[in-house]
Structure 1
Amino acid sequence: MFQIRQLLLASIAVCFTSITLAQSLSQKITTAFHQFASHESLAYGTASLTVINAKTNQVVFSANEKVGLAPASTLKTLTSAAAYYLLGTDYTYETTLAYSGEIDPQGNLKGDIIIRGSGDPSLGSDRFPQTSDQTVLSGWVKAIQQAGIRHIEGAVIVDDSRYNGHTAPGGWTWQDMGNYYGAGVSALNWRENAVGVNFRAGGTVNAPTSIVSTTADISYLQLVNETTTGDRGTGDRVYAFSAPYASRIYLRGTYGIDLRKTVYLSLPDGAYDAAYQLHTALANAGIDQTSAPTTFHLLKLAGSEIPQPGKVLENYRSPALRELIYWFNQKSINLYGEAFLKTMVYQEEGKTDTRDGAEMLRDFWTNKLAIAPGELKLMDGSGLSPENRITTHAMARILTSIRTAPWFGSFYESLPTYNGMKMKSGTIGGVLGYTGYQTAPDGTPLVFSLLVNNYQGPAQPMRQRMFQLLNTLK
């Protein structure tokens, strides 16, 4: 009887201590959040914070948790987790090199070289040694040579038909689409659909700049340089303006007089660039072609015949999904999110439109966790659209739910570390967000989501105030 009483008293003590610690943490966050939200920078803005005890699934703190706010790149966590569930950690993309027609005894191919894409966002990227553009191009040239092809009476053609060509999500803005972070998506992405431009500043402030070089041959595009020289310390304020399939890119803004930086733009058609680069690489290897490089989409627009590929020369496989998601979250590459979104909706529903993918992503999470659909208004898979709206309640619940998934360790590792905390950041105009994981001083695992919309003033002071608020979880 005495032992039972002692055990009962011990259990009560543990429960009392846990409740006391939980109340203490909740009160600590409450005080910090009130101070944070009352700052003058949020006089016309909104802040929302949800903190969940991941062990008990109980809410430790919440404020404005059911208010839909623009999430910016914190949305990438939802896309990543859904991709793990629907595609699997070991999922890979296949890109096929093939040819149509026949090769005669002299090595003349009376047909075309065809590259068929399946949406790989890493093809030609320098994130991995095996995916770099030169490595991939060298492999393709070697495969063509080993097939005995010495001359091509045809063209290099990219089959980008799976997603009906190169597109950008409808909610993206004109200012974003021409820049590397606003690159559109295709069934054949190449070098992350981006290219770098090296500028030379003028001798004085406001003087015109000049373009010195580009990181790849894009002579088929016209770069209209309208940038001027900015003051010392003003950095890169260059914006590119173009749209899918544009042949002209306008460069506007300022480039600091003391700046030495490569500025990256989006390619209007990554699939065409891949065809163009292989066309050039083959010519340099002594394999000429009688026709100019092109894509299935461009042939379709022109009303031309679409060739049917015959013999496969090489099947190229991308790195595994878990490796792609690492870079997706670490470097917040919007293209990867849109590629994953299209891959998921194509595999699950046979559809290819971004809006269909966004609806599928919303339905996946609302059905899985019984979250109200109004808490997830999604327009893309990356968070670049300013029309996205998510509640911190939904975000925190989703991140809490995946902690027991077998792939959670891989997901967790993909999150960057800011302020000593594992969390994904998000930034677009007037929006800052952080969502992730932290262990409380008593060992309690916490999941949090913090979003700020329409704040006033510079971003860096707001980030520091957000970090100070999140420090209450440590």
Structure 2
Amino acid sequence: MQLVFGLSFCAQTEKPASESTLQAYFNQWVQQPNLTSASIGILVKNELGEIVLEHNSNTSLVPASTQKLLTTASALEQLGPKFRFETILAYKGELNEDGVLKGDLIIQAGGDPTLGSDRFGGIEALGKSWLSVLKANGIQSIAGKLLIENTVFPKYLTPRTWIWEDIGNYYGATPAGFSFHDNYYQMVLRSPNETGALCEVVKTTPTMDHLTFDCQVTAAANNSDNAYIFGGEGSELRYIKGTIPKGRSTFSIKGSMDNPELLAQKWLSNYFTQNGVEVVGNEFQAATTTTVFHSHKSPELSQMIQLTNKYSINLYAEHFALWLNENRGEKLTVELGAQSVKESIGKMGIETKGMFLVDGSGMSRFNAVTPNQIVELLRYMRAAENAEIFINSLSVAGESGTLRSMFSGSTAAGKIKAKSGYMERVRSYAGYIETLKGEKMTFCIIVNNYEGSAAETKYQIKKLLERIVAHTK
């Protein structure tokens, strides 16, 4: 049997499934020119735990975002599906009968990654909700300041193994005790009509007036977003490099916030003042007592996990991992959160030798797991108390999340529920398959260091998964 996998994704010559075994298909698949020097690990098991297809399944490989399966499963098992993060509203000082708070409004951070998230109404909805709480508790003005107290996470949490290109952009937003607007801002650029000419920054939302932007982005003839923001914690300079399409009056990209607490203090103070509860900002001698008047709860963990796995939200995964660790404050690190995930996997009875975790999201290239470990985790969760919540958090081929467009119109549509992973020279997929004959399988495919384009490798994995869906005993 000869299979042709052209770089242009031309039509392929394949024999019907009944005329070729899955193993024979794979033997041809793995010999494609762009895969011959790649590190590839694959494991497919049926419902009885029998191996259907295997290749280097005990080799440690960089998993990219399929690692989120480990983190979200651990969070479900350790914290429970109804777990909520809690943020406390309180004040220090005296609230007089005229509604004037002679002191400071205190927000006690609780590690909630969803505060002000556009996925849950945005910063306007959060501001409106808390403004109503202030008025309902008789607070008509605040003579002091709005202060955020963070004792749950350390001041600096950028993982030491994340790359420079990632940490300035929205997907590299680092966790914070008080996260705000998913810890990212939107930047609007304007590009001239001339190819190669410099673009300019129009505005940022929310306003990032504490940062200085050096825009080195140029206009390009293509329609691609190839602009990246560079900068990290402790620096007020951000420079933007790359290209955006020419002739655009507005073109939006997203950057990560370096200090969400600072931005939230400014934004919330202004919002309250503009809507009837002035934050004056006077200095007050620190009061000895704190009066708590409201507890803000995050959405339930089950809902947050749905978003994390379907849309691969790195920030949420990092918050889950951090919260699994018993340390709080300056003692806590992203690496300790990752260690707690690994310990949780071990408690499930899964061998963790060869598992190297340094974050919760899979962003670091220092992470490594084996396909066998991921498959065993998936098999464990299929039988777990929270199985339905976990499985329904995965993307469905041709229908939702990161698998929607990949399998649109495919014979595998609706037959695969999985998590995808992608970073440069890494493609990974792991989850559950129901074959055309109704057989249930669990699988993991990880490909590291392939040649050629990411799109080509994605297409090849798609064809392999379609062949697995067509597999018969």
- TM-score norm. by structure 2 comes to 0.87
Counterparts of 1:247 and 1:193, CA distance in 2? 16
1:445 match: 440
1:407 match: 386
Asked whether the equivalents of residues 345 and 351 of structure 1 are also in contact (C-alpha less than 8 Å), the reply is: no
Aligned to 2:279, the other structure's residue is in SS state: coil
Out of 215, 222, 230, the position equivalent to 1:241 is: 230
Q: Quick one: percent identity of the two aligned structures?
A: 29
What letter matches 1:454 in structure 2? N
2:208 match: 218
The 1:197/1:348 distance shift into structure 2, 3 A limit, reads closer
Q: What pairs up with 1:254-269 in 2 under 5 angstroms?
A: 254-257=243-246, 261-269=251-259
Which stretch of structure 1 is more off in the superposition, 144-153 or 435-444?
Answer: 144-153
Q: Deviations over 1:416-444 (max 9, x none)?
A: 12222211110011100010110123322
CA RMSD in angstroms comes to 2.5
Out of 22, 28, 33, the position equivalent to 2:21 is: 28
Out of 80, 88, 95, the position equivalent to 2:72 is: 80
Aligned to 1:426, the other structure's residue is in SS state: strand
Structure 1 unaligned blocks of 5 or more: 1-23, 294-303
**Count of residue correspondences:** 436
Out of 345, 349, 360, the position equivalent to 1:369 is: 349
In the TM superposition, residue 169 of structure 1 has moved relative to its aligned partner by 1.6
Counterparts of 2:419 and 2:144, CA distance in 1? 47
2:196 match: 206
Q: Deviations over 1:103-155 (max 9, x none)?
A: 234443222111111111111111124xx211111122222233333443321
Counterparts of 2:168 and 2:329, CA distance in 1? 30
- TM-score norm. by structure 1 comes to 0.86
Higher percent of residues as helix: 1
Which stretch of structure 1 is more off in the superposition, 350-359 or 429-438?
Answer: 350-359
The 1:45/1:222 distance shift into structure 2, 3 A limit, reads same
What letter matches 1:434 in structure 2? Y
2:316 counterpart of 1:316: no
Q: What pairs up with 1:16-165 in 2 under 5 angstroms?
A: 28-53=21-46, 55-129=47-121, 132-165=122-155
Structure 2 unaligned blocks of 5 or more: 1-16, 397-402, 408-412
What letter matches 1:256 in structure 2? P
Asked whether the equivalents of residues 322 and 338 of structure 2 are also in contact (C-alpha less than 8 Å), the reply is: no
The 1:144/1:326 distance shift into structure 2, 3 A limit, reads same
Asked whether the equivalents of residues 155 and 330 of structure 2 are also in contact (C-alpha less than 8 Å), the reply is: no
1:353 match: 333
In the TM superposition, residue 404 of structure 1 has moved relative to its aligned partner by 1.1
Asked whether the equivalents of residues 190 and 251 of structure 2 are also in contact (C-alpha less than 8 Å), the reply is: no
Which stretch of structure 1 is more off in the superposition, 306-315 or 176-185?
Answer: 306-315
2:390 counterpart of 1:395: no
Counterparts of 1:454 and 1:114, CA distance in 2? 49
Counterparts of 1:86 and 1:349, CA distance in 2? 20
The 1:467/1:358 distance shift into structure 2, 3 A limit, reads same
The 1:444/1:461 distance shift into structure 2, 3 A limit, reads same
Counterparts of 2:438 and 2:356, CA distance in 1? 34
Which stretch of structure 1 is more off in the superposition, 179-188 or 29-38?
Answer: 29-38
Counterparts of 2:216 and 2:421, CA distance in 1? 30
Out of 324, 328, 348, the position equivalent to 1:344 is: 324
Out of 452, 461, 470, the position equivalent to 2:465 is: 470
